[in-house]
Structure 1
Amino acid sequence: MHSKLPDEVRRIAVVRALHLGDLLTAVPGLRALRETWPRAEITLIGLPWAEDLVSRLPYLDQLLEFPGYPGISEVPYSSRRTQAFLEQAQDRRYDLSIQLHGDGSVSNFFTLELGARCAAGYFVPGRGEPLLDINLPYPPRYPEILRVLELMTSLGCQAQGMHYEFPVTQEERTEATGILTSAGWRVGRPIVGISPGARPPARRWPAERFAEVAKGLVLALGGLVVVTGVAAEQEMATYIADHIGGPCINVAGRTSLGVLAALIGKMSVLVTNDSGPAHLATAMGTPSVILFGGADPRRWAPLDQTRHVVMYAAADCSPCPHWECPCDHRCLTWIEPGDVVVASLNLLARLGEQPVLRGAFDRLERAG
């Protein structure tokens, strides 16, 4: 154990007020944390949606909704709300607070104000003095899953595997099967997943290219296309579904997160932007082809390059921090639909999915 840790750790606060993919990459670190302190109360300070994930994982006991803080954009800042939250947090008398929200430039201040007996996190060398009790230099190009684990191991935790987890219930699996069978799917037929959304527009491959990929994969594999997305992505998903010309179901905005995960778990392959569904595919063990634009694949791509293929054009301006592309989106438009179709089929071939692939390349060749 780290020499600065209290002798007894009974209450732990973890700060990570981020989104689905960010939380899934932290699961191996949270698993190591729970293994080290199995009887501690571990609280995630995060966004409201994370209640769903907290309820599924044995590594977290509860969620406290992040109240907002100056310089952190995920929640609008209200001084009254934040002050009330910090006073309540200090009353909880945390033994350990762990900052997993970004590089620490701002979030370390918030973590320090929780008043824990010991605070740990990353900092950026050259941007002021380290604030916390346990400080690690922030590695900007390091895979996120390893970055979180490195902080945990600095506390004395031991990794308990690198795999993600997103447990789904039998009810969710049954609902997912019902959605598929209502669209004409039968057991043994291929399911092609298409996930065209992403919160930042800079990470979205054009919808018409997703439609081309879906058409190519339906031609090669047969089966059913499932287009996923949140409610705000329904227009994009509807465009793709309308232009496939084959069996398709559009579930954008029509499922819970658990049912979406169950659907992804049944897919033969998922073609997706760098987004929450991409990380769900990793958690569910579903082969995926992930299209990277502005985000850095060195940080966010799955470590398992056997089941997951990264397509990245490496434009001279990427990776970039922009929410919307300020130029011509070349990092994504340089990726051609035909290459994505071939990458998907090659991935299935490499994984030995012979029943799914039988005749696929011949059908593509005949179609020209």
Structure 2
Amino acid sequence: MKRILVIKLSSLGDVAHALPAVRALKERTGAEIDWVTQPEYAPLLACCNDVARTIAFPRRNFARGFFPFLSELRREKYDVVVDLQGLMKSALAARLARGKRRVGPAWAREGAPRFYDAQPAQTPGPRRHAVEEAMDVVNLVAPGAATPPEPQLAFPESEPDVEPGPHVAFAPFSRWDTKDWPLEKFAELGKRLATEMGCRIRIVGGRDNEAAGEILARQIGEKARNLCGKTDLPGLCALLKGMDLLVTVDSGPMHWADALGVPLVAIFGATDPARTGPYRQLAHVVAKDGLDCRPCHSRTCARDDLACLRTLDVETVFQAALKRL
């Protein structure tokens, strides 16, 4: 096997979940691996040692970008095309590629399976972790050990933080309200880590989080810095790699920090850590027990009170952080 095409278009965390599968493909086949993804994630995959070439899927300008994308997609011939997204758009890209064989996940939907030559068998019971389900697809192509290998990532070194003390990053922002622990609780946690443990707090997020990050930094005090919108994605990963701890909601930074081996405290609300939580053993997952509605996997709260997040106390998260520092 000489050349493999992997398709995982989005999102930030889902792309991270695919990294062990790509490492396994490289280890087991030695093939050149190209990856189809959305343009915003291509700089991250340029830092993945197992990826020879990224092909940008034109999600935002599909009509204008389709034919250039198709030309790039069909530039090479592939022994196998591995669709790890499992949706119609990714399966269509798999069919358009010049591949001898196409495989996709057992849970694929939107009619995607009609474009595959093979899928893993469905396993009984609840869905497993996304990393393990991606490995099921890999095992169709190149069977091997059940344990997913660690990704091979090479991000540029960030400038060292010269301020003394343990360095703790906060990633308090996601795209779902039902994932976000209240910012006032992050502020209280930051104050305690700064005053009781001498920690330096670095708040990370996107450009749309800059204002909220600035408010949070001011609430924590002089040992906090707002870095929201100050880095690109490779720069964010380089920064996280230098942290002693990341305290995070279920978000893209959580998954990439996990891939990099950064110690984590991961706060979960609506989503299920058994399915999409940190996979490595360096994480402490914090979630509210005793709620029948959790996990609901919903962007909106049916109870309308976000009890899974609002009743999760700061002391619990603080103690989890102490165990990881």
TM-score interval, smaller chain? 0.7 to 0.9
Query: Which of 114, 122, 133 is matched with 1:147 structurally?
Result: 133
SS of the equivalent of 1:122 reads coil
For 1:277-316, what aligned pairs fall within 5 Å after superposition? 277-305=253-281, 307-313=282-288, 315-316=291-292
Q: 1:193 aligned to 150, 153, 169, which one?
A: 169
Tell me whether 1:341 sits opposite 2:324 in the alignment: no
Matched, 1:17 2:4: no
Mark the CA change 1:91 to 1:165 in structure 2 (over 3 Å): closer, same or farther. closer
Alignment RMSD, CA only? 2.7
TM-score normalised by length of structure 2: 0.87
Q: How does 1:1-368 map to 2 (within 5 A)?
A: 9-38=1-30, 40-67=31-58, 75-76=59-60, 78=62, 81-82=65-66, 85-86=69-70, 89-90=73-74, 92-102=76-86, 104=87, 107-124=90-107, 130-131=113-114, 132-137=116-121, 141-159=127-145, 161-169=148-156, 172-173=157-158, 175=159, 177=160, 180-181=161-162, 185-186=163-164, 189-305=165-281, 307-313=282-288, 315-325=291-301, 327-348=304-325
Deviation, 1:41, is: 3.2
What are the superposed Cα offsets for residues 332-353 of structure 1, whole Å, 9 maximum, x if unpaired? 22311121111211333xxxxx
CA deviations 1:166-202 (Å, max 9, x no partner) are 3222xx33x2x1xx33xxx13xx21122111113333
Q: Distance in 1 between matches of 2:202 and 2:109?
A: 48
> Which stretch shifts more, 27-36 or 116-125?
116-125
In the alignment, the residues of structure 2 paired with residue 252 and residue 89 of structure 1 have an alpha-carbon distance, to the nearest angstrom, of 34
Amino acid of the structure 2 residue aligned with 1:96: V
Query: Which letter does structure 1 place at the counterpart of 2:130?
Result: E
Change (3 A) 1:79 1:256: closer
Deviation of the 1:29 alpha carbon: 0.9
Q: Take 2:110 and 2:42, find their aligned partners in 1: how far apart are those partners?
A: 33
Partners of 2:185 and 2:92 in 1: how far apart?
Answer: 43
Which amino acid letter does the alignment assign opposite residue 347 of structure 1? Answer: R
Cα distance in 1 between the residues matched to 2:11 and 2:109: 28
Paired residues of 1:99 and 1:122 also in contact (CA < 8 A):
yes
* Amino-acid identity (%): 29
Alpha carbons of 1:129 and 1:152: their partners in 2 closer, same or farther (altered >3 Å)? closer
AA partner of residue 312 (structure 1): A
- Structure 1 spans left out of the alignment, 5+ residues: 1-8, 68-74, 349-368
TM-score (norm 1): 0.77
Gaps of 5+ in 2: none
Counterparts of 2:42 and 2:274, CA distance in 1: 29
Seen in structure 2, the aligned counterparts of structure 1 residues 163 and 203 have a Cα distance that, compared at 3 Å, is same
Deviation for aligned residue 1:253: 0.9
